[in-house]
């Protein structure tokens, strides 16, 4: 790995008590370029602009995918990643679906650890805060031809993070728009998936809802995801979540919630979740909770569902009665090294001496 430390680090200007998520970046980033059929050297360099043109193929034809993950700092100042091998597997699944070259484990995990180690001072300390990390792959060839690119860049950038949603949100069940279609790229973290979600979400916002629950593209009778999250439904004391598929992202937080729920002895049913069943459960009082999970948000509890012009209120449960909040607490405790890790999910990032090239 080629190391170039920043000559003008900005860490001294960072206030961990006063920052906004997503627009404050650490001092360094990882880049690696693909050309002539192979990846070059991984480079850790100062964060900043890169020289691209509007003719870059990633901008014009959408060959771009990414991952979202976090690093956590415990009470002793030790730093941990959470299940990074899952993100490594998924970014390559996304790259393959978009006809892009896969990255190696050494590139991904080695680059990740080096960046987190170099910029560990940027990781806020305390539950609810973390370092959000964005690995990405995108086409960089400068040519306007609708074909597979011959050049790519793998990069990793990072931004300090704090709680995404602090209050329960209202969500609109979509009866027209879908996040993904059969045979499409819904199971990949393709950049275009998110662009396509913005307009329906904007329409939901105009109706007083913060997010959308996406339904299937053919009948709109089944839950798929919610916003940029996987979705869970609790009816009585059973949790339901849709199975992953070519339309539904295999979320790391989703998988973690399933494991944690089963460890608590909660019944989890991974099966299609019908809109009709959820609405009926809300009417008869058996619908206890609906929530979304994802890396950035961890857990977003829903306070109301909008459907065909009706706003259906959901119960507000205290921590001791809420599956969503209890499982979130279990997850956060593991991530922040506040409890045992029975699954071996934490990966400690040691302090290395990284020298300039």
Whether residue 140 is found in the same domain as residue 220: no
Residues whose CB falls within 8 Å of the CB of residue 54, separated by 6 or more in sequence, listed in order: none
DSSP three-state, residue 203: helix
| pLDDT attached to residue 95 | 98
- Residue 141: C-alpha distances to residues 42, 60, 152, 155 (Å): 19, 11, 7, 15
Model-level pTM? 0.95
Instruction: Answer whether residue 71 is part of any domain.
Output: yes
Whether residue 177 is found in the same domain as residue 324: yes
Whether residue 237 is found in the same domain as residue 284: yes
Q: Give me the residues paired with residue 270 across strands.
A: 241
User: Of 139, 162, 185, which closes a domain?
Assistant: 162
Q: What string of H, E and C letters represents the secondary structure of 29-78?
A: EEEEEEECCEECCCEEEECCCCCCCCCEHHHHHCCEEECCEEEEECCCCC
| pLDDT attached to residue 353 | 61
Tokens 């990255």 belong to 103
Whether residue 276 is found in the same domain as residue 136: no
Instruction: Answer whether residue 345 is part of any domain.
Output: no
Phi and psi at 97, nearest 5°, equal -65, -30
Instruction: Answer whether residue 42 is part of any domain.
Output: yes
- Residue 277: C-alpha distances to residues 49, 75, 272, 280, 284 (Å): 50, 44, 10, 5, 11
Whether residue 282 is found in the same domain as residue 232: yes
**Do residues 131 and 71 touch, judged by C-beta distance below 8 A?**
yes
Instruction: Answer whether residue 340 is part of any domain.
Output: no
* C-alpha to C-alpha distance for 325 and 289, rounded to whole angstroms: 10
* C-alpha to C-alpha distance for 33 and 45, rounded to whole angstroms: 13
Q: How many domains are contained in the chain? A: 2
* Residue 246 belongs to domain spanning: 169-335
Closest to 128 in 3D by CA, of 170, 162, 156, 176: 162
| pLDDT attached to residue 162 | 86
Whether residue 102 is found in the same domain as residue 53: yes
Residues present in the chain in total? 357
DSSP three-state, residue 193: helix
Number of neighbouring beta carbons within 10 Å of residue 171: 27
Whether residue 10 is found in the same domain as residue 109: yes
Instruction: Answer whether residue 327 is part of any domain.
Output: yes
Residues whose CB falls within 8 Å of the CB of residue 266, separated by 6 or more in sequence, listed in order: 237, 238, 239, 323
Whether residue 35 is found in the same domain as residue 136: yes
Whether residue 243 is found in the same domain as residue 286: yes
Instruction: Answer whether residue 357 is part of any domain.
Output: no
Phi and psi at 288, nearest 5°, equal -95, -40
Whether residue 223 is found in the same domain as residue 143: no
Whether residue 144 is found in the same domain as residue 193: no
The average confidence (pLDDT) of the chain is 96
- Where the chain has pLDDT below 70, the residues are 164-166, 353, 357
Percent of the residues in the chain that have a pLDDT greater than 70, as a whole number: 99
- What is the Cα Rg of the chain in Å? 21
The H or E element that residue 301 is part of is: strand 298-307
User: Of 112, 142, 162, which closes a domain?
Assistant: 162
Instruction: Answer whether residue 356 is part of any domain.
Output: no
Instruction: Answer whether residue 58 is part of any domain.
Output: yes
């Amino acid at each position: 790995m080629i190391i170039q430390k920043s000559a003008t680090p900005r860490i001294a200007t960072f206030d961990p008590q006063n920052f906004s998520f997503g627009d404050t970046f650490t001092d360094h980033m990882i880049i690696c370029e693909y050309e002539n059929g192979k990846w070059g050297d991984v480079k850790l360099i100062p964060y900043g602009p890169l020289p691209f043109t509007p003719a870059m193929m990633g901008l014009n034809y959408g060959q771009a995918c990414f991952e979202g993950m976090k690093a956590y700092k415990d009470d002793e100042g030790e730093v941990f990643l959470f299940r990074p091998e899952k993100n490594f597997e998924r970014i390559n699944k996304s790259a393959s679906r978009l006809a892009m070259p896969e990255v190696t484990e050494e590139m991904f995990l080695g680059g990740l650890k080096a960046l987190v180690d170099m910029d560990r001072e940027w990781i806020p300390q305390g539950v609810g805060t973390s370092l959000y990390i964005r690995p990405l792959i995108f086409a960089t060839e400068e040519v306007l031809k609708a074909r597979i690119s011959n050049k790519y860049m793998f990069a990793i950038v990072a931004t300090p993070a704090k709680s995404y949603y602090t209050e329960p949100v209202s969500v609109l069940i979509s009866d027209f728009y879908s996040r993904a279609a059969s045979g499409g790229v819904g199971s990949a973290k393709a950049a275009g998936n998110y662009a396509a979600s913005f307009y329906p979400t904007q329409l939901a916002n105009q109706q007083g809802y913060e997010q959308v629950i996406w339904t299937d593209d053919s009948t709109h009778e089944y839950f798929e995801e919610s916003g940029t999250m996987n979705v869970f439904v609790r009816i009585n004391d059973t949790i339901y979540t849709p199975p992953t598929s070519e339309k539904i992202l295999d979320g790391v937080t989703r998988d973690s919630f399933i494991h944690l729920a089963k460890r608590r002895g909660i019944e989890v049913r991974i099966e299609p979740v019908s809109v009709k069943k959820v609405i009926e459960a809300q009417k008869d009082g058996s619908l206890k909770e609906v929530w979304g999970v994802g890396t950035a948000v961890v857990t977003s509890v829903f306070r109301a569902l909008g459907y065909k012009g009706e706003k259906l209120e959901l119960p507000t449960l205290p921590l001791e009665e809420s599956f969503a909040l209890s499982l979130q607490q279990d997850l956060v405790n593991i991530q922040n090294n506040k409890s045992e890790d029975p699954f071996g999910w934490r990966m400690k990032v040691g302090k290395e001496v990284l020298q300039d090239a």
